Amino acid sequence: MDFGKVAVMMGGKSAEREVSLKSGAAVLAALRSSGVDAHSFDPQDRALEALHAEGFQRVFIALHGRGGEDGTLQGALDLLEIPYTGSGVLASALAMDKWRSKLVWQASGLPVPDYVVLDAAGDFAAVEARLGLPLFVKPANEGSSIGISKVKQAGGLSAAFELAARYDACVIAERYLAGGEFTVGIVNGRALPVIRIVPATEFYDYDAKYLRDDTEYRIPSGLGEQRETEMRDLALRAFAVLGGRGWGRVDFMLDAAGCIYCLEANTSPGMTDHSLVPMAARAAGISFPQLVLDLLAEARCG
Catalytic positions are 16, 144, 210, 249, 251, 264, 266, 270
Burial (CB < 10 A; 0-12, 13-18, 19+), residue 176, is middle
**Whole-angstrom distance, CA of residue 2 vs CA of residue 228:** 37
Does residue 163 contact residue 147 with C-beta atoms inside 8 Å?
yes
Taking the CA of residue 183 as centre, how many other CA atoms within 13 Å lie in the half-sphere pointing to its CB? 24
- In terms of DSSP bridges, do strands 115-118 and 149-151 run parallel, antiparallel, or are they unpaired? unpaired
Going by the DSSP 8-state scheme, the letter that residue 266 receives in this structure is: E
DSSP string, 108-138: TT-----EEEE-TTS-HHHHHHHH-SSEEEE
Closest to 140 measured CA to CA, from 171, 112, 182: 171
Supply angle C-alpha 142, 146, 151, rounded to 5. 110
Residues 6+ apart with CB under 8 A from 82: 51, 52, 56, 57, 58, 59, 301
Instruction: Map residue 50 onto helix, strand or coil.
Output: helix
